Structure 1
């Protein structure tokens, strides 16, 4: 059967036809880079805070500040041109002021430009001693929480009052701010914040104070997993505000309409919702089960990049992507698309592949997004192989990071999604890539002529050797036996170090045209930065590259 090739702008795809691993590629859009500003020309956070402190002294009266008030810095933003914005919270006689926050704006040189204030009225209270007790305020808040969830028997209800100054609702007054929390009959958290006049006991305001909800889901491949969701009225959305509002939607079997790489229309991503915040059944017959896997894969990939590499989201800007599951009909593929900043998963044909929502697939595909925002390795020739290998390497690191009992870490790619009709236990094998029948174990002058999913084998083999070393061994119940081109014995340095070296090489040293020789140099530079020239890690990188014939 001939290979099927599809072209979608900015996308990277994973899987196969029944004959083998199919390549689906597309050219990256050219990216114009602008030079960074000189570091010494731009004020630092400390400079902005110092400048703002001087402005507060000079403009205290216009900002409504008196000797009874104190300020604390909440946030600082320094624009590219050096303009500074310092955000403050305020206390009055050591009590937090609701509505007392303000932002001071400064020129690039640090001069005062103005301010935005949440409220403008002066604060002057005759007393900060409440006439309504904390216990009374707590009781009122608990009653408000129960009333807001009328008909739902709450349990584990608690209330914590705190005395504040309320400047947000008219004339400033002493108030109790009480956070009441509990759990509903299904065990889901509920919460409500209640403002009570501390002199009269009258309610000033109240609002639900849980935007995220701790739910869980039964996935196809990773067992029962935790999920952060968004409560919306009496239901929940599969959207995670703690990870940039990443969400998962149902493509409903539809596909994108794309001509010459330009998508005229896209398949939908109808947001999954649920009544009790317990998602899926773990069976493919429940459409939410695949959505659980997709959301979980996104969460673990986000957490890996943030907690291990300090990267806040795929683009490094804190913004989440979104997932589409149930794309097309029996679609044997999954792909990342830069143009929509989204992940898409097919359900597979059931014979060669099941739903393609496994954890290492998610990590693989979303790493294409990271690559596009950093080195932007051209998706052809040796650089294309490195692009694919980057997704295999770092996607594998995501799987190890997640530490799922149902999907333990390994050096197999896509082992969860293959079916007996595929004929092999995984898509790719990092310890000896040629086990898939197509991939290269070692570099040669012709490796760049291979499909990028196969030329990636050289870097995958390097990463395995650098992590675990050569020769036979069993890890997490999987048997490996990794050979070397030069007959050498390679001693591994551990996958955590390999992930850090590869990520730094990708984000600091590789460019769109990096080939295997350039990857050797980039990873040696990264190892030198992280562990020192001549270190055991540096020497191991050199040895592992030589073991795959990259010298």
Structure 2
């Protein structure tokens, strides 16, 4: 059962719609919200957890506060406060749950909670990381729980253990799937420049041209090496990919390494962002995960290693490092982790996936020419990975027409409109399927056109202003969303971002795109 936030006090978009690019709000509009936050922080009910400098407006900052009750963080309850250089509040977004009161003294110890989570999981499951004592809002009331992660097989679950009884209060799948310069051949035979580090015995796949350490590993399709690193062991430095002559011929290694650098370049050049955490945190790419007999046709973000793991595909799909949109999609899960950190279930999980799809597609358009065919920018997701290139059959999702993809398991097609939102228990509440609603809104904002469900037509900004749409969604998601965000929150956040960056005309187009997909 997912957390309940219906009774939350919403503090959304307090800066007025009349504010344009570079404008500041009037004190009369935002002073009460700022004063409320200060009072809550002084009483220990809000805890400042992150300060984010505004790359678009020097001097502005975004302050993230977690709600706290009795010293315990409230899951999903967070406020984001935008302030100017003089400390004046410009806007507030997020959720604060009124009337929460709870005894935050656990009956269990953290290690007992970890054992309970392992016992409630398949054989061989292992708790990783330190359990955190938190309050989990549920329809029947808030419960004091230990939050932790459990790994087993190729799974990573987020589990909440009741801190008094040891029962599982909630769980969800948290695996977010999908100086010397040499040359290399990618998965599809294309030649690329490879930034590597020279040393005794040859060259290592360590990018020295960009500020962060971008390192690519080769697990050699070894089951033991894959299992050790995925179940909590550190990546072995001896597994860093190597080339004797700096002429790299392993396509999966080449593409994982090169596309990680290209993704860094996209974020820096388009958004002024320095890596996944904004501070050039090292990033790891891990190739040849698991033996080919297991047919691992997927990729995923590992939040503990700050790494993307790439499978080598199967009879249908090539190695998953072979597409820039897939690589950028997974790395964007890292960006999300270090900004709004959307809970990977329900609407927030769908927005998490949608943001990765949007930024993955944006990176593809940034680096590849638009058009049809392999290694051409388009609105299909993962279409370059299939050996038989034939969208839509060779793709996994579409931003232009989400409903072209249907699931036999769920018995639905990916919705392009909020009225068709999947609300069942599978796929974490439809995180991959429901993401199409936000992706369709982004597509309509760029290209314009007709939503097939509502039949509402959107003018759009036009492909020549693709950069505007990308900046609006990037700023809206990373600056204003909070972990329990809904589609309505994403609408408000992107409208706010459009007003910040450009003005009322662009904000109106954002609102029109969301209206077309049924989000008001």
Do they fold alike, i.e. is TM over 0.5? yes
Structure-1 residue corresponding to 2:21: none
How many residue pairs get matched?
Answer: 328
Structure 2 residue runs without a partner (length 5+): 1-45, 60-178, 407-412
- Structure 1's consecutive aligned runs of 4 or more residues displaced over 6 angstroms after TM superposition are none
Structure-1 residue corresponding to 2:338: 373
Q: 1:436 to 1:538 in 2, by over 3 A?
A: same
Structure-2 residue corresponding to 1:546: 515
* Residues 235-314 of structure 1: pairs in structure 2 closer than 5 A: 235-243=202-210, 244-255=212-223, 256-257=226-227, 263-265=231-233, 270-280=239-249, 288-314=250-276
Which of the numbers 496, 502, 505 marks the counterpart of 1:531? 502
* Residues 39-58 of structure 1: pairs in structure 2 closer than 5 A: none
Structure-2 residue corresponding to 1:143: none
- Residue 288 of structure 2: SS of its match in structure 1? strand
- The structure showing larger relative contact order (alpha-carbon pairs under 8 Å, at least 6 residues apart) is 2
* Residues 397-408 of structure 1: pairs in structure 2 closer than 5 A: 397-403=362-368, 407-408=375-376
| 1:319 Cα deviation from its structure 2 partner | 2.4
Q: 1:362 to 1:32 in 2, by over 3 A?
A: farther
1:506 aligns with 2:477: yes
Instruction: For 2:346 and 2:309, locate their aligned partners in 1 and report how far apart those are by CA, in whole Å.
Output: 25
Measured on the aligned residues, the alpha-carbon RMSD in Å equals: 2.8
Structure-2 residue corresponding to 1:465: 444
Q: Quick check: 1:253–1:327 contact (8 Å CA) kept in 2?
A: yes
- Residue 265 of structure 1: SS of its match in structure 2? coil
- Residue 192 of structure 2: SS of its match in structure 1? strand
Instruction: For 2:403 and 2:285, locate their aligned partners in 1 and report how far apart those are by CA, in whole Å.
Output: 32
1:325 aligns with 2:287: yes
Q: Quick check: 1:251–1:268 contact (8 Å CA) kept in 2?
A: no
* Residues 51-450 of structure 1: pairs in structure 2 closer than 5 A: 212-221=179-188, 223-233=190-200, 235-243=202-210, 244-255=212-223, 256-257=226-227, 263-265=231-233, 270-280=239-249, 288-329=250-291, 330-350=295-315, 352-357=316-321, 358-403=323-368, 407-420=375-388, 424-437=393-406, 438-444=413-419, 446-449=421-424, 450=429
Q: Deviations over 1:228-261 (max 9, x none)?
A: 11111352111102231211111121354489xx
Q: Quick check: 2:448–2:457 contact (8 Å CA) kept in 1?
A: no
Q: Quick check: 1:222–1:293 contact (8 Å CA) kept in 2?
A: no
Q: Deviations over 1:413-451 (max 9, x none)?
A: 000112459981210011010101131110127434442
| 1:503 Cα deviation from its structure 2 partner | 0.7
Q: Deviations over 1:60-93 (max 9, x none)?
A: xxxxxxxxxxxxxxxxxxxxxxxxxxxxxxxxxx
Q: 1:515 to 1:424 in 2, by over 3 A?
A: same
Instruction: For 1:446 and 1:401, locate their aligned partners in 2 and report how far apart those are by CA, in whole Å.
Output: 31
Q: Quick check: 1:367–1:391 contact (8 Å CA) kept in 2?
A: yes
- Residue 398 of structure 1: SS of its match in structure 2? helix
TM-score by length of 1: 0.56
Q: Deviations over 1:154-182 (max 9, x none)?
A: xxxxxxxxxxxxxxxxxxxxxxxxxxxxx
Q: 1:213 to 1:463 in 2, by over 3 A?
A: same
- Residue 215 of structure 2: SS of its match in structure 1? strand
| 1:398 Cα deviation from its structure 2 partner | 0.8
Q: 1:32 to 1:415 in 2, by over 3 A?
A: farther
Q: Quick check: 1:222–1:404 contact (8 Å CA) kept in 2?
A: no
| 1:34 Cα deviation from its structure 2 partner | 3.0
Q: Which has the larger radius of gyration?
A: 1
Instruction: For 1:509 and 1:495, locate their aligned partners in 2 and report how far apart those are by CA, in whole Å.
Output: 21
| 1:336 Cα deviation from its structure 2 partner | 0.9
Q: Quick check: 2:405–2:414 contact (8 Å CA) kept in 1?
A: yes
Instruction: For 1:547 and 1:291, locate their aligned partners in 2 and report how far apart those are by CA, in whole Å.
Output: 41
- Residue 503 of structure 1: SS of its match in structure 2? helix
TM-score by length of 2: 0.59
Instruction: For 1:37 and 1:310, locate their aligned partners in 2 and report how far apart those are by CA, in whole Å.
Output: 13
| 1:462 Cα deviation from its structure 2 partner | 0.6
Q: Quick check: 1:509–1:522 contact (8 Å CA) kept in 2?
A: yes
| 1:264 Cα deviation from its structure 2 partner | 3.9
Q: Quick check: 1:250–1:268 contact (8 Å CA) kept in 2?
A: no
Q: 1:364 to 1:37 in 2, by over 3 A?
A: closer
Q: Quick check: 1:393–1:460 contact (8 Å CA) kept in 2?
A: yes
| 1:35 Cα deviation from its structure 2 partner | 6.3
Structure 1 residue runs without a partner (length 5+): 1-30, 45-211, 281-287, 472-481
